[in-house]
Amino acid sequence: MSHHFAGAGDVGVPLKSTGSMRPIITELDNNKRGSIRTDVADLVMVKYKCSSNGVPITQTNGSTLPLVPGSSKDAEFGGYNPFDHRTVQYPTTDMETFIHLLKGSLGSGILAMPLAFMNAGLIFGLIATATIGFVCTYCVHILVKSSHKLCRRMQVPALGFADVAEVAFLAGPPAFQKFSGLFRGLVNTFLTIDLLGCCCVYIVFVAKNIKQVMDEYVLDINVRWYMLMMLPLVIAMNLIRNLKYLAPLSMVANFLVGTCMTITFWYVFQDLPPMKSAPFITDWHKWPLFFGTAIFALEGIGVVMPLENNMKTPQHFIGCPSVLNIGMAIVVLLYSTVGMFGFLKYGDKTEGSITLNLPKDELLAQSVKVMIAVAIFLTYSLQFYVPFEIIWKGSKHRFTSHPVLFEYLLRVLLVVGTVLVAIACPNLGPVISLVGALCLSFLGLILPSCIDLVTCWEEPGLGRGYWRLWKNMVIIMFGILGLVTGVYSSMLDIIVTFNQ
């Protein structure tokens, strides 16, 4: 799922120094052991303490922070517009953002949707995919709205994903403030696990597609040997440190994916069985696997904040109509189409990737497997970039003597680790479900609801009948249910595969 490579939200957007403001750099202070305080966090805490003690912010003494005049409430309601203060070197238009959103949400996950429908059924799969797509889109809405509110309160132009989580709790009621560092850490941890998990899935995906072609034309060997043979190439590709040099690989990968999907649709729609040949709904114990796979495919929460922060007109990202709503509607439609017709075509023989169901004795079908394998292989380094940056920023202060050497060593160790995990569990379906259920349930459903709840706790409040509380609790419980059942079912499948 190439849907995650942009944006861990670790680095804030610098503010121009204009006398009343100073640069805001939201990064871990690596010189202080165990410190998770950031400049934004300090700003939030000082402003909170001043307002809670009735001290005007402009008269605060003893602070080394040159604070922005005016109360956070005034700033939120018209006193400060963060969009006017954003200094983006190359801002993206609405159309460019729309294309990036599709690119971030459409990836290898779409090829797993027929498997998801096999665990749900045709009709239930359609309804559940639309429901999950709606809930995921709504959670993006409340996350971005919370970001806008916090930017106005704190008078900063933009916040990354981890920044939003930390600042929301720091600026919230006193009982929640002690959890700010925990939630920032959770965002970075789950983003890292999610993206490294995607890297493991990519290794499995490439090896299985190459194996099918090699079995037909050369020789039949265990899929794990292909993963080992890929290791030197993957290591070499991920020694490239500059993201700029990886961009051409992304362009080639996008072209190959588009070509492969066109050919795959051509095969799927040939001699399509009647609707009644596939079950409309499956046994309930299979639903957790559907949930894990579907949310893995649909959830692109990691790309949201970077896209919105870099827009020329960020107010067009959410709303009705908006870049987000139109983009997600297209994504849900495409995923539902591939899932329904792919399962209808191949039924109980549906594989973890629909490309594995294509004919083994036709050259065109085999070329699809090779092209998609090359495309996903080239995408690995882009997927690997963000989790490595998160890990390296948190650990580079320990390697001051030879930082470049240790950076390369860490890159090699992480790549080897993803390949070893892939070798240990080469069954694609349960791995996708595990990653989706574990990480994306938290990042895409649970966390945005928590942020919305804390941000709105005091202003504008929980609403009549505490509707905002109950609404967020329903989403949180939905996310927890999906997380627990999805992880449990996926682990059982992985254990069975490992024993075999």
DSSP output for 338-349: HHHHHHHHHGGG
pLDDT tens-digit readout, 289-332: 788 778 777 767 777 777 788 788 888 888 778 888 888 888 89
Q: Which domain holds residue 349?
A: 100-499
Does any domain span residue 401? Answer: yes
Which of 84-88, 126-130, 468-472 is predicted with the least confidence, judged by mean pLDDT?
84-88
The Cα–Cα gap between 132 and 125 comes to 10
The Cα–Cα gap between 174 and 458 comes to 11
Name beta bridge partners: 311.
92
Does any domain span residue 51? Answer: no
pLDDT tens-digit readout, 137-195: 888 888 989 888 888 888 888 888 888 889 998 888 888 888 888 998 888 888 888 88
- Percent of the chain topping pLDDT 90: 7
Does any domain span residue 366? Answer: yes
- Report how many domains make up the chain: 1
With a cut of 90, say whether residue 20 has pLDDT above it.
no
4 band by pLDDT with thresholds 50, 70 and 90: very low
* Average pLDDT estimate for 103-111: 71
Name beta bridge partners: 422.
none
Q: Which two tokens stand for residue 419?
A: 């390949």
User: Quick check: 82 and 311 in contact, CB under 8 A?
Assistant: no
What integer best gives the mean pLDDT of the chain? 77
Question: Which helix (H) or strand (E) is 293 found in, with range?
Answer: helix 287-298
Does any domain span residue 431? Answer: yes
pLDDT at site 67: 40
pLDDT tens-digit readout, 399-436: 778 888 888 898 999 999 999 988 887 776 677 677 77
Taking alpha carbons only, the member of 260, 336, 211 closest to residue 108 is 260
pTM over 0.75: no
Residue 243 or 202, more confident? 202
DSSP string, 440-458: IHIIIIIHHHHHHHHHTTT
Residue 173 sits in a domain whose CATH number is: 1.10.4160
Q: What is the DSSP letter of 172?
A: S
With a cut of 70, say whether residue 126 has pLDDT above it.
yes
Residue 446 or 490, more confident? 446
Does any domain span residue 74? Answer: no
pLDDT tens-digit readout, 455-487: 888 777 777 888 888 999 999 998 888 788 878
Does any domain span residue 39? Answer: no
pLDDT tens-digit readout, 210-241: 888 888 777 888 888 989 998 999 998 888 87
Taking alpha carbons only, the member of 180, 181, 177 closest to residue 49 is 177
Q: Give the CA angle between residues 431, 120, 347 to the nearest 5°.
A: 90
Residue 396 or 335, more confident? 335
Taking alpha carbons only, the member of 286, 250, 307 closest to residue 121 is 286
Does any domain span residue 54? Answer: no
